[in-house]
Structure 1
Amino acid sequence: MASKATLPGPKTSPNMALGMLLVVYIFNFVDRQILAILAGPIQADLGLSDTQMGLLGGIAFALLYSTLAVPLGWIADKTNRSWVITISLAVWSGFTALCGFAQGFWSIFLARLGVGIGEAGGVAPSYALIADYFPSHKRARALSIYSLGIPLGSATGVIAGGYIAATVDWRLAFLVVGLAGILIAPLFKYLVRDPVKTPVSADVTISQPSFIDILKILTKKRAFWFLALGAASSSMLGYGIAFWLPSLLQRSFGLNLIETSLFFGSILLIGGVAGVIGGGVLGDWLGSKNKGAYGLVPAIAFLLAVPLFAAGILSGSATLAFVLFLIPQGLAYIWLGPVLSAVQHLVTAETRATASALFLLINNLIGIGGGIFFLGALSDSLTPIYGEDSLRYSMLISLIFYIIAAGLMALAAKPLQHEWVEET
């Protein structure tokens, strides 16, 4: 008779793991978004153009962040997910601090590359850990709570970074958030451990799929590609607006740095939190009845966001713009819970981090790498026509990316029905 291995249960509760993963994700987005609010002071100090700032916010970060996420996700599946996250947090926080010592374009470009290297190992293993800790019917909500790190971290980076830059210096802002992340890393590892896998018969050999095997599985999943490309298209605009809106508020609405940080930080906090939570609740509720809802809910949200963003961009009043931006900011975040949950269900448990990393490769290399640069370069090209308002029209033209995203998400609805992997 086969003997059973006796293994202890997980030493970290699901809520503790989720809470600490959220804290790490907040730091992830503080480090990303702080560059946006500091763009004005950095450009003035280092003499950088919009195109150069687009490179710093886009490809400098996204190139290695996107590509290294795949091997690091595979390593996390093979080894220990919490260790990979811990080391990644320490690395990206250290390079964020180094941004504060930049003396020109190439020095800050290299530091941003380093931030991308560190952050490459943070998100995909976190998705997989959450899927390990939470059952299928609670997963979209759990991933939505984790995704609150996006608006909470972005808002913190915008408000704190803007205040520090306005009252002291932009370099100090990078140093403060970088050192804070380094201090959090050992606490995270102490509190969060990978859950112990279900005991299996001692005479059963478990075969861990190779990277090529996982890639072959995903190649046949149409839903994966529609969701990934839809997310990438939405991120072209989403990351572009997140990076360039502070500059728009200062150039076209006449706000100073602190006013800009409070304006944009409040939009991110209120609209972003509502959208993330709402998407998770809708995803689990409607998805339990129809798996296609995991694609349809984001599609509808993106279409609704387009006219409201356009009205806000064209508004001549900062007060009216705040109201108009608030709702579409929430709609823009609705996709996170449903789509991230769906990706976890397109593969088996032991390959989730790798699948998530491949999803992030597509989403971030196109979305972050292309979107921020595209909006900045388009703004530069429109400057001879529109002057200080060139960024306004660059954003307006780029709203087409949400329409494309909506179509791709809608196309994922049907294949989700039969490509979904039910848990046993």
Structure 2
Amino acid sequence: MKNREVDTQAVQDMSPSAFSWRSETYAWAVVALLIIAFTLAMIDRMMLTLLVGPLKANFGLTDTQVSVLHGLAFTMLYVIVGLPMGWLTDRYSRRAIAGFSVAAWSLMTACCGISSNFFQLFLARMGVGIGEAGISPAANSLIPDYFPPSRVALPLTLYSIGGSAGTGLAFIFGGTIIDYVSSLGRINIPLFGEIAGWQASFLVAGAPGLLVAAAFLIIKEPPRRGKLGGETRASVSIGATARLLKQKRAFLIPQFCASAACALTILSIVAWMPTFLIRTYGYTAGEAGLRYGLAVLVGGIAGLIISGAVANRLAAMGRRDASIIVALGCTLLAVIPAIIAPVLHNSMATLWLSGISIFGFASAIALAPVALPVVIPNEMRGQVYALYLLTISVLGYAVGPVLVALITDKIFHDDAMVGWSMALVALIAGPVAVLLWTIARKQFLLSGRLIEI
């Protein structure tokens, strides 16, 4: 009976007139700030993928150990802290949470640069994960309160551009920085002594985040929209959220798992493609970063803009399942290029197909949260989105890169076979994602709405 009450309560007005308190320019300025923050998050997260060679040479690591630093160390506390961050997002200032998160991960990225062994670097990467756990729950709760539901798909998708832009920029500028500072030899850092040139790239990457963190202090905290009638901040408990999740599980489970399968496929490739280019074609870190970074940047941004616009168009035509339809189509587009790209013997063909796979998978992952405001009330969105992040992070960031490394180390026993390891992961996870999107769409149409838009 209680579930029925939650499902039928009146909600706050979410019509376009309810958003007259802010100008259109201001709303988009906030989205731009969130995109910049997410871009920096991805730069700080992905820098390590260009440093496989120096890490193995300086710390005596295997591919599997490097993948642990890239994925497991980052994800371990990222997913644990993500759930309480979602809870805090549903109750307290989202701009403050976003600002604190940016400052925290920026400082911990700098700490990666002064680490002198595997254990210290592992702890610093865990710290980066703790900081980044707060930004996306805050952003995905803030943005729907700045835009009416019929227009929220595009800004949410554009926010996800920060992921592709940050990854691309991490490769482009990160590779250039690594090549440059590595040529300088050892660098003396006051209070910390000498560090290798390549380690200084972490210090450079972490610095801009402190300025972005300060910018969150001056934006407005918007009124919360789409709230359940009669519920207060204190009364929307974790138990109430759990009951809603149980009620909507037929849709949420395949929706989350479809996005996680996409994340596993593409993030395992993103984590190892620069190393593949270096090992297979003899690229320097700068060359691999520039060429693959451009593929990620162009493919990711183009995919997110086009898919968001198409989803908005379909939604305006009355298609409730617009975001899921587009996510399914994007996944279908990406699967075959993801399988073929890592096993080709032509670097340009590999890069072109990589761009197409990024186009599709990044779009599908970005569109998954668009359906959540339709079925999840405001007070629960932070918690539900944190659970979504947990799902894609465990499978995408923690499992994906490690799985590729384990196949390379334990099955092929040959570092040169990393491309075939990536292809094998894509061959399994890609078709699974297509099947799960199909199930999610069907269940979404059957699930009904909590929020009338």
Quick check: TM above 0.5?
yes
* Deviation at residue 324 of structure 1 after TM alignment: 2.2
For 1:142, the equivalent position in structure 2 comes to 155
- When structure 1 is superposed on structure 2, of 250-259 and 22-31 the one drifting more is 250-259
* Deviation at residue 219 of structure 1 after TM alignment: 1.9
For 2:110, the equivalent position in structure 1 comes to 97
For 2:11, the equivalent position in structure 1 comes to none
Moved over 6 A (4+): none
1:40 to 45, 53, 73: 53
User: In 2, distance between residues paired with 1:297 and 1:331?
Assistant: 10
* Deviation at residue 162 of structure 1 after TM alignment: 1.0
User: In 2, distance between residues paired with 1:309 and 1:197?
Assistant: 40
1:66 to 75, 79, 86: 79
Post-superposition CA distance 1:300-342 (Å, at most 9, x none): 3223222222332221111222222222221111213431111
For 1:382, the equivalent position in structure 2 comes to 411
The one-letter amino acid paired with 2:62 is: S
* Deviation at residue 13 of structure 1 after TM alignment: 2.1
Contact kept, 8 Å, 2:150 with 2:315, in 1: the verdict is no
Post-superposition CA distance 1:273-302 (Å, at most 9, x none): 011112212222224433234223222322
User: In 2, distance between residues paired with 1:331 and 1:366?
Assistant: 18
1:277 aligns with 2:272: no
User: In 2, distance between residues paired with 1:211 and 1:129?
Assistant: 20
For 2:125, the equivalent position in structure 1 comes to 112
Post-superposition CA distance 1:388-415 (Å, at most 9, x none): 4320110111011111111111101122
For 1:217, the equivalent position in structure 2 comes to 244
Q: Which runs of 5+ in 1 are unaligned?
A: 1-7
User: In 2, distance between residues paired with 1:252 and 1:291?
Assistant: 46
User: In 2, distance between residues paired with 1:311 and 1:354?
Assistant: 37
* Deviation at residue 10 of structure 1 after TM alignment: 5.1
User: In 1, distance between residues paired with 2:381 and 2:231?
Assistant: 20
User: In 1, distance between residues paired with 2:172 and 2:116?
Assistant: 24
User: In 2, distance between residues paired with 1:67 and 1:295?
Assistant: 28
* Deviation at residue 228 of structure 1 after TM alignment: 0.7
For 2:221, the equivalent position in structure 1 comes to 194
For 1:321, the equivalent position in structure 2 comes to 350
1:340 aligns with 2:405: no
User: In 2, distance between residues paired with 1:112 and 1:419?
Assistant: 41
The one-letter amino acid paired with 2:29 is: M
Contact kept, 8 Å, 2:86 with 2:386, in 1: the verdict is yes
User: In 1, distance between residues paired with 2:206 and 2:449?
Assistant: 40
User: In 2, distance between residues paired with 1:150 and 1:205?
Assistant: 34
Contact kept, 8 Å, 1:298 with 1:409, in 2: the verdict is yes
* Deviation at residue 383 of structure 1 after TM alignment: 3.6
User: In 1, distance between residues paired with 2:332 and 2:223?
Assistant: 42
Contact kept, 8 Å, 1:144 with 1:336, in 2: the verdict is no
Shift of the 291–52 alpha-carbon distance from structure 1 to 2, 3 Å rule, reads same
Contact kept, 8 Å, 2:266 with 2:357, in 1: the verdict is no
1:24 aligns with 2:53: no
User: In 1, distance between residues paired with 2:452 and 2:29?
Assistant: 24
* Deviation at residue 205 of structure 1 after TM alignment: 7.1
Contact kept, 8 Å, 1:291 with 1:413, in 2: the verdict is no
1:154 aligns with 2:167: yes
User: In 2, distance between residues paired with 1:283 and 1:404?
Assistant: 23
Post-superposition CA distance 1:75-134 (Å, at most 9, x none): 111111110111111111110000001111111000000001111111111101011111
Shift of the 375–420 alpha-carbon distance from structure 1 to 2, 3 Å rule, reads farther
Contact kept, 8 Å, 1:82 with 1:194, in 2: the verdict is yes
1:87 aligns with 2:100: yes
For 1:3, the equivalent position in structure 2 comes to none
Alignment map for 1:193-342 (pairs within 5 Å)? 193-197=220-224, 206=232, 208-221=235-248, 222-288=250-316, 289-342=318-371
The one-letter amino acid paired with 1:238 is: I
The alignment yields a C-alpha RMSD, in angstroms, of: 2.2
Contact kept, 8 Å, 1:279 with 1:333, in 2: the verdict is no
Among all aligned residue pairs of Structure 1 and Structure 2, give the percentage whose two residues are the same amino acid: 29
Shift of the 319–353 alpha-carbon distance from structure 1 to 2, 3 Å rule, reads same
Contact kept, 8 Å, 1:141 with 1:337, in 2: the verdict is no
For 1:394, the equivalent position in structure 2 comes to 421
The one-letter amino acid paired with 2:140 is: Y
Count of matched residue positions in the alignment of Structure 1 and Structure 2: 413
Contact kept, 8 Å, 1:240 with 1:371, in 2: the verdict is yes
User: In 2, distance between residues paired with 1:403 and 1:48?
Assistant: 33
User: In 2, distance between residues paired with 1:421 and 1:263?
Assistant: 45
User: In 1, distance between residues paired with 2:416 and 2:247?
Assistant: 45
1:406 aligns with 2:419: no
Q: Which runs of 5+ in 2 are unaligned?
A: 1-19, 182-196
TM-score by length of 2: 0.86
1:164 to 170, 177, 191: 177
User: In 1, distance between residues paired with 2:440 and 2:287?
Assistant: 41
Contact kept, 8 Å, 2:280 with 2:416, in 1: the verdict is yes
Contact kept, 8 Å, 1:18 with 1:130, in 2: the verdict is yes
For 2:395, the equivalent position in structure 1 comes to 366
User: In 2, distance between residues paired with 1:170 and 1:138?
Assistant: 44
* Deviation at residue 197 of structure 1 after TM alignment: 4.3
The one-letter amino acid paired with 1:262 is: L
- When structure 1 is superposed on structure 2, of 360-369 and 19-28 the one drifting more is 360-369
User: In 2, distance between residues paired with 1:170 and 1:76?
Assistant: 36
TM-score by length of 1: 0.92
